[in-house]
A and B are shown apart, each in its own frame.
Chain A
Amino acid sequence: MILLATEDVLTIRDWVGIATDFVSENTIGMSRHWEYTDSVSNFLTEFIMCVMVFGGIMTTLLILLWMERKLLGRFMDRRGARTSLRSLWVGENGVTAGEWWNQLPFGTGVPVGMLNQFLNEVAGNDHELEAVSRVKNRSYHGVWWMLPGFFQNLADGMKFLTKEHMVPEKADRYVFEIAPFLIIATTVMCFTFIPLSPNFYSNNSEMSILFLMAIFSVAPLGVFFAGWSSNNKYTLLGGIRSAAQLTAYEIPLLVTVLSVVVLSGSFNLIEVIEFQADSGVWNIFLLPLGGVLFLVAMVAEVERIPFDMPEAEAELVEGWWTEYGGMRWGLMFASEYLRTYAACLLFAHFFLGGWEAPFEDTIPYIHYVPHILWVFLKAWFMFVFFVWFRAALHRVRTDQILEFGWRWLLPLSLVNLAMATALRLWVYDGINGEWPLLIPILITSISLALFILLSVDEDPEALEAQTRPFSVQTVDVASPGQHRE
């Protein structure tokens, strides 16, 4: 057990431990198998923590999806009306969807009905158009702050569950069936070693980062399986693209993670976070380049725009998952977002100090805020960038992706690793194991200056000359319009 520097008010794991200790002592401990008391207690703790972490992730995943929808609506300037929750809840003209609370036993639904009646009066639609009565299941957008559309994905999930499971006739059936499980299972396993707070994680092993990266890289294999086995040329291309892209970006990602590991001196994720808390400087201020590289590589890893070549819908219909439907597709879609979530959480842990509150040491009483909140806030903040990229950027072509990965990201990540090594060896270890304040300030300001410099740099000559540097044509053009028989 690692000694944690951070104190947390929500010591959930301890509470669960106390509860399971109590239970096992009073059951197993009383029996003749009393020597297994500790093992049972540990098993129960692990089990309960796993369930709680997974539940917490799945629940907060809804926030991610909701954020994506709502943010895209704003980026695209098409803010829609908000109806989905209220379609279940407040009806119009006093009519609600089925009045389901009346079917609850023993009148337990009466308060729900009363609440709905109250909401109806306050926020309901009393529009008198006749057309209103024709569509019963919607409601007036009226009050704009009603929690809008949050549970949409539950509805989506229910729909997926009712869909037929179809396998293409000439698909490689076993591989086709295994692929989604491979993807989903490995994705879920990622969260085993991602702590949500100092006292809220399912497991903590010595080499958790190593395991994380390993398990994170299994899913591309599933993608390739899925693409290959569907017996469809689009999925095949998608699968192969995916394999090529993920290999190209896996290596810079690993090297970048290695730089963090070198800087923090541990392969354990919790220790990496604790290192940032101890030294008082988040890694992003020491390795800004590493942060950027990690983010870019992660966007490519989770296959989001601008790097969503494997499922580029304009050319490959839906890429490697074209042939999947129903809940398999739904779960794979969920696992896409789970991977994104994991990416966001890892970014928060590696670079944003994990559960460390900003200015934890200087702002009084801030440590009374439950640390799990900071983790989530940081992850969601990172997810804003994922959505923002998607709204602002275009899709990169295959060869450009690979070129960018191999020729830019890989050398840069090596530079980053060298920087981290130098910082650790000569600065941190050289000066009694702490960061002098000058170092992060200097690195951050230099990086910012470089960023601004690059952001204003333009080449007017290139525009005037109309250079077209990105020609990729590799075959002579057949004379257009002439048929080759």
Chain B
Amino acid sequence: MGNEVNAKQILSAAEEIVSDVADFGDAVNAEVRYHTSGRRKNAYVYIEVTASQWRELALWLKKSKKVDYCSMITGIHWPENADATWQVVAHLLRTGVTNPAVVNKRVHETKVDIEGISGNEVPLEFEISMTIPETREPSVPSVADIWVGADWNEKETWDLVGIDFDGHVGMRRVLLPHDSPTGYHPLQKQHKLRYHDFNEMYDDAQGFGRKPEDSGRVK
């Protein structure tokens, strides 16, 4: 019924971005990818970038491509992969939100004419991935001054995964207690979940053990 952005609009917007990203050269690889779920295989832009280029790319996205919203910045720890032990994934959105127009001191709410939008107005999803080789102190540039929404995402990523962000002001623990030991970042893979191991089930720390007569009989 035309009350949604259709796949064609999204695809052409995504392709535009991918062709423009080529200006950055080898440091930035972009491709159009598709969601695989559901009825609609929406396109989104997938960009691989080196950490050093990330800030530049972010500024370009913000300024020329009107990418105005940072949805999530998160990190993954791949301890078995020496080339890319640390991965930072950023999800950005282009929302096209503007302040409502003011005419004659009267505010007029914005209702987007969805069929008519094109170019930089089309809402679009971005997935941006960067990898860092094996290091004790992983770090990527911060984009918290470009999108303020990245501020607490970066705090959380440092708090839980341990990836630091250069240039981030006021980095601190957000979800873990403030007095957590330095270097303790629970989402790193060396911290194993003791729990939910199938064999440990009967040695419940809370005391609900195996029935005495069942020992040896029930696995």
Chains A and B touch (C-beta atoms under 8 A apart): yes
Listed in ascending order, the chain A residues whose CB lies under 8 Å from chain B are: 464-466, 480-483, 485
Alpha-carbon distance between A172 and B107 when the two chains are bound, in angstroms = 54
Contact of B169 among A465, A480, A483 (CB under 8 A): A483
Closest to A484 in B: B170
Alpha-carbon distance between A483 and B152 when the two chains are bound, in angstroms = 11
What are the residues of chain B within 8 A of A464 when measuring CB–CB? 106
B5 to chain A, nearest CB (A): 28
| With contact pairs A483-B169, A485-B169 given, residues A466 and B106 touching in the complex (Cβ less than 8 Å) | yes
14 A-B contacts, Cβ less than 8 Å apart?
A: A464-B106, A465-B105, A466-B106, A466-B107, A480-B148, A481-B148, A481-B149, A481-B151, A482-B148, A482-B169, A483-B169, A483-B170, A485-B169, A485-B170
What are the residues of chain A within 8 A of B151 when measuring CB–CB? 481
B99 to chain A, nearest CB (A): 14
What are the residues of chain A within 8 A of B106 when measuring CB–CB? 464-466
Alpha-carbon distance between A350 and B170 when the two chains are bound, in angstroms = 63
What are the residues of chain A within 8 A of B148 when measuring CB–CB? 480-482
What are the residues of chain A within 8 A of B107 when measuring CB–CB? 466
Listed in ascending order, the chain B residues whose CB lies under 8 Å from chain A are: 105-107, 148-149, 151, 169-170
Tell me whether chain B's interface is mostly helix, strand or loop, or mixed: loop
Alpha-carbon distance between A481 and B169 when the two chains are bound, in angstroms = 11
Closest to A481 in B: B148
What are the residues of chain A within 8 A of B170 when measuring CB–CB? 483, 485
Closest to B104 in A: A465
What are the residues of chain B within 8 A of A480 when measuring CB–CB? 148
What are the residues of chain A within 8 A of B169 when measuring CB–CB? 482-483, 485
Alpha-carbon distance between A466 and B106 when the two chains are bound, in angstroms = 8
Closest to B148 in A: A481
A170 to chain B, nearest CB (A): 25
Closest to B171 in A: A483
What are the residues of chain B within 8 A of A485 when measuring CB–CB? 169-170
B152 to chain A, nearest CB (A): 8
B22 to chain A, nearest CB (A): 34
What 8 pairs across the A-B complex have the smallest Cβ distances? A483-B170, A481-B148, A481-B151, A466-B107, A485-B170, A483-B169, A465-B106, A485-B169
Closest to B105 in A: A465
Alpha-carbon distance between A264 and B148 when the two chains are bound, in angstroms = 68
B47 to chain A, nearest CB (A): 25
Alpha-carbon distance between A464 and B104 when the two chains are bound, in angstroms = 12
Alpha-carbon distance between A466 and B107 when the two chains are bound, in angstroms = 8
B49 to chain A, nearest CB (A): 25
Alpha-carbon distance between A480 and B151 when the two chains are bound, in angstroms = 11
